[in-house]
Structure 1
């Protein structure tokens, strides 16, 4: 049903799959980039929050220093200041704990750990050294400079915290800018893919629409036009499609159907024409045959009674010849009008039948100026046709060719006969032949006569068509009717000035139908 290149449905399916694949790839890439943008945005949000917490911790560190100064400047032990100091430390610890949980996978996590250590040292210096030192002073102990050292260490730790805060803020700023750059890049990639993929998909869709119109809509329109023309009786209509696929196969099937209908109509017209000839022949047979028989009887009596050489006998002979010609015409009409029931098959030697035909035409003095050469298979063959019918159709064909060759210089006719398997016979010849025949007896009758015009070549097997001035146009029509009724084929090839070649094929039976007759 389909040709090379694949079917239309497969091509359309591939086209739709490609469009869907393009959209699918674009969607997957867009979703991937969208997820990437979402993740990056979340990272940016977390880093910004951590950055704010870093700033807040820096402020809390300064507040610790302020609380420490307030504690030292009071003349007595103010334990509420210690509580306030510890509350600020707790806020720093909470902030650092939150930053640690949000930045486990960040490179800046080490800075946060160092901040945690610095906060622990600040609290330890304040509680273990500054508070204890002031308590001892308030109890009357002499100052030993420990408080000054603790304050100096506190300032040193706070300077380190400030440096860590600055480095941590810069690191988060760089990481945030990098994340923003990646988010913008992912968004731009998605936007570029969208701008690229959708025009490509649109172009592919337009190509599919065009291909659908060319491969489906236009062929369907051509098929509809062809069926309408065929329905209107135009059997010559043909559908011309190019390419491959189901519609081309459908168009070829339609063309075969149209040719078959045209052939069937032609055969029906031929059958009706032959039926008309048959009715005409049946009607005139009784009207003409009896008078002709009477005329021939009287001419025979007169020729027997008249002496030779007299003008009267010559005139009677002329009447006898014309009467016999009339009888031949009537006999030809009757042969053409009889039902073409195939005769019973026989075992026949083609060479013997051809020899009989040549003897008959020689008796008719048709071979005196024509060189006839025959090369026919000389062995018995089981044929679907009987010996008498084979002789009749060959006589009609050979006699017709010899009559055309009369009076031509160097006139020649060649008769060949051989057996060919069905596979070696041209397909156009087999369309009217029996489908059951596995091999054929091929008979070729070729001459170097004047040839037949192309306009007349298709009509030479029609009844009453002739190119001879004195022809009846029945010989080849009768021969063709006999051949086709026995499951064979017949055709002619000719060119003006190059002679004519008639080829006929008769089925050879697998088993002999009976003894040779």
Structure 2
């Protein structure tokens, strides 16, 4: 502000103390007035631009009226310059004010998005705590209902953010870069909503309750849960019984098996066969999930367990990543073999309960 006032004072002094015979010098001084006018508009928006232009007009007008009175031919040009001062002040201030309003709207949208991320973390902590309390219950059905409620609560702020972004996008020129930024924001909100949906469905607690159990019983429970969906897709389920026990967290292994069975059924929408066999491999028991679906491309096999990698249009890509984490947490490993057009086999290998190498 001080700089702006000082600049106006200096330019005005140059006008008043320079003889009117130096016409070309005064022409330069008049152009110098544009500098404080533009700065006033940039710094203080519309009010600043107009106020600066009006002040300059008031203090410059007497100079034109009295000192240039003996040059009547020059006065019309100088009065026109005063008018242009005000036009420039208005345009600069108006454009700056509009840009700052747009910036404020974007900042508000970003703040809402940040609030959504914070709420997501809080809801994630809640679901992990609640899931831990339901470890001994039939958690799959209970967790499904809870996840639906939490997903609804999280979608509310995401919906607000999406709506705000759409409002900002309305009226913008598609060639405007800010239109592109709004489109990116809408796309990221949709992606976050999909991640929330997948996370609430598959998130598991970090602590394990390891013990010996029969994998055949777990697989039978999984088949019971999925048989309705498999029947609709025309997928036949086949389970090979076994007598060996494995060591691990029963509920976590059940979730891992459910993920693999769901993936296989979804990969065969036109029908097929999914069989699960048990095979000893040293101190491990391998559960082999074999389907005759379309298979997985060789280029995708290396990334199949990477978070957010998916080949389905409606997939998010967390199911296999979480399955791998569960298996490793329980001291096992998971492998995949696939031939395009012939099918895929996932081998879920876990420590045998009677192995001397058990932790």
Instruction: State whether TM-score is above 0.5.
Output: no
Structure with higher strand content: 2
- If asked which structure has higher relative contact order (CA below 8 Å, sep 6+), I would say 1
Instruction: Report the TM-score when normalising by structure 2.
Output: 0.45
Instruction: Report the TM-score when normalising by structure 1.
Output: 0.32
